[in-house]
Structure 1
């Protein structure tokens, strides 16, 4: 048995949520000596480049979570063309949505409906569209930005497990992104509907959005929030953040012409161009 298979199997009996809440409690600790020691150890272990941070002094952060979700200098991530990467990380999979499914890893697919919490009607919008998954490792910048400008129409919290989302786990745990706790954010854009899903993972203590603050941890039932007053976010604008690493899954009703230089497992940076749309939704409806 491979080590990656073994790693995935031992996660099943672990109390995911309890472990994550304990880590979250530690990450919010304000004891100066403890939070400074944690931050120093993390910077050394993951070779974090603090020169990119708006506040490069690690001792200036009140908690480990404040450091982990640190803001970058404005010039650190210039705005690219077309469709943007929503985060720093690894572009694990991307391409066309085929048979209403997205690729998780080689040989493993999951349905759009399952990803959206069982919403078959909404999932039909994305038939024939495109998707992309970006995995954020612990060393990455952990704020999530808008891949396109859009108006938020609905936010859906979907309860679930908190498996790790690293490559070892995505290779072996079926329907991983549709099993984990997640926050589903629906947008209207000039290219049609777009959904951005913030997927929770083991020791991810919380997910935040700029319009609602901290949303998870929750538990139990699917929870939907409709927005009668429009929440408009522009392309490249921050939309949320992870308190510890995870994955962003994006789906688009329109077809994306992804950059030919991209391949699965490519490292990407937030706001870098991933590709473009051949036409807007308005143009696609013209005779």
Structure 2
């Protein structure tokens, strides 16, 4: 375990994330530009793909971090039976959910019920499929729909804010079921689909296209919102949500719905819109 991962056990997660939020939204020219230039340099951010490629024109670090892409630099699969990758990033893990347990790393797993914050919801995916996609600080931080879906409900599940970097994934037990997260439940033509936006250390928020800021505010109990009958249907490849700092999105699909692309292997780099999962119609 690295020193950084060890420190996350004792650091005041929410205080640090609140401080990071203030910095991220600061419009002080020197502060915001130093933050942007540091991240661009350290992580090799490719601003040529951004709708605004001039780093000095962003009003705040958060505006830079949640930047839009130029039209056409990412495209969805052309075959109708393919679900598309929801984000730029790297595959942490993907595959079958085994008897209700989702594989995190060697010797580490957690249950569907723990992740979703609901036993009944978890049971619907106990033999289903999952993909965990890690977004690093260099990546595009908007998450898009793998396919067309109608929003059923969301659950804001409070928790810790551990780092979700590779070392933490290897060493923090049940990491994704312990971190604060927003569970988004969609109905699709092949059954239920879960999109789980997992927060992390220094992540200053998650926003959705239908409701705005969801995390923070921080809470001490699960907050459930019922969106049935509200007519919130998003097309495949449409923007769904965004992280205000890098983190992880987990996709859950029902048993028997299809097969993963051969490219979906642990640690593989992926890009928004690439073919991710082939539906078996």
Q: Which residue of 1 aligns with 2:17?
A: 20
2:198 maps to 1:196: no
Stretch deviating more after TM superposition (202-211 or 247-256): 247-256
Stretch deviating more after TM superposition (254-263 or 81-90): 254-263
CA RMSD in angstroms, aligned pairs only:
1.1
Separation of aligned partners in 1, 2:201 and 2:152: 28
State the Cα distance separating 1:5 from its structure 2 match. 4.4
Q: Which residue of 1 aligns with 2:205?
A: 206
Q: Which residue of 2 aligns with 1:239?
A: 240
Q: Which residue of 1 aligns with 2:280?
A: 278
Q: Which residue of 1 aligns with 2:259?
A: 257
Separation of aligned partners in 1, 2:270 and 2:170: 20
Separation of aligned partners in 2, 1:115 and 1:33: 40
Normalised by the size of structure 2, how large is the TM-score? 0.95
Q: Which residue of 1 aligns with 2:141?
A: 142
Separation of aligned partners in 1, 2:235 and 2:126: 25
Stretch deviating more after TM superposition (185-194 or 258-267): 258-267
Normalised by the size of structure 1, how large is the TM-score? 0.93
Superposed CA deviations along residues 83-125 of structure 1, whole A, max 9, x for unmatched, are 11111101110011111111111221110000011x1111111
Separation of aligned partners in 1, 2:173 and 2:34: 37
* 8 Å Cα contact 1:86/1:145 also seen in 2: yes
* 8 Å Cα contact 2:94/2:264 also seen in 1: no
Superposed CA deviations along residues 179-210 of structure 1, whole A, max 9, x for unmatched, are 00000000000110000000000000010000
State the Cα distance separating 1:38 from its structure 2 match. 1.7
Stretch deviating more after TM superposition (41-50 or 235-244): 41-50
Separation of aligned partners in 1, 2:88 and 2:175: 21
Q: Which residue of 2 aligns with 1:283?
A: none
State the Cα distance separating 1:7 from its structure 2 match. 3.2
3-state SS, counterpart of residue 224 of structure 1: strand
2:114 maps to 1:114: yes
Alignment length, in residue pairs?
A: 275
- Where do residues 26-41 of structure 1 align in structure 2 (5 Å cutoff)? 26-41=23-38
Structure 2 gap ranges (5+) = none
3-state SS, counterpart of residue 86 of structure 1: coil
* 8 Å Cα contact 1:103/1:109 also seen in 2: yes
3-state SS, counterpart of residue 162 of structure 1: coil
Q: Which residue of 2 aligns with 1:8?
A: 5
Stretch deviating more after TM superposition (31-40 or 64-73): 31-40
Sort the Cα spacing of 1:35 and 1:230 in 2 relative to 1 into closer, same or farther, 3 A.
same
Q: Which residue of 2 aligns with 1:180?
A: 179
Separation of aligned partners in 2, 1:226 and 1:157: 12
* 8 Å Cα contact 1:191/1:254 also seen in 2: no
Q: Which residue of 2 aligns with 1:230?
A: 231
3-state SS, counterpart of residue 11 of structure 2: coil
3-state SS, counterpart of residue 37 of structure 1: helix
* 8 Å Cα contact 2:108/2:170 also seen in 1: yes
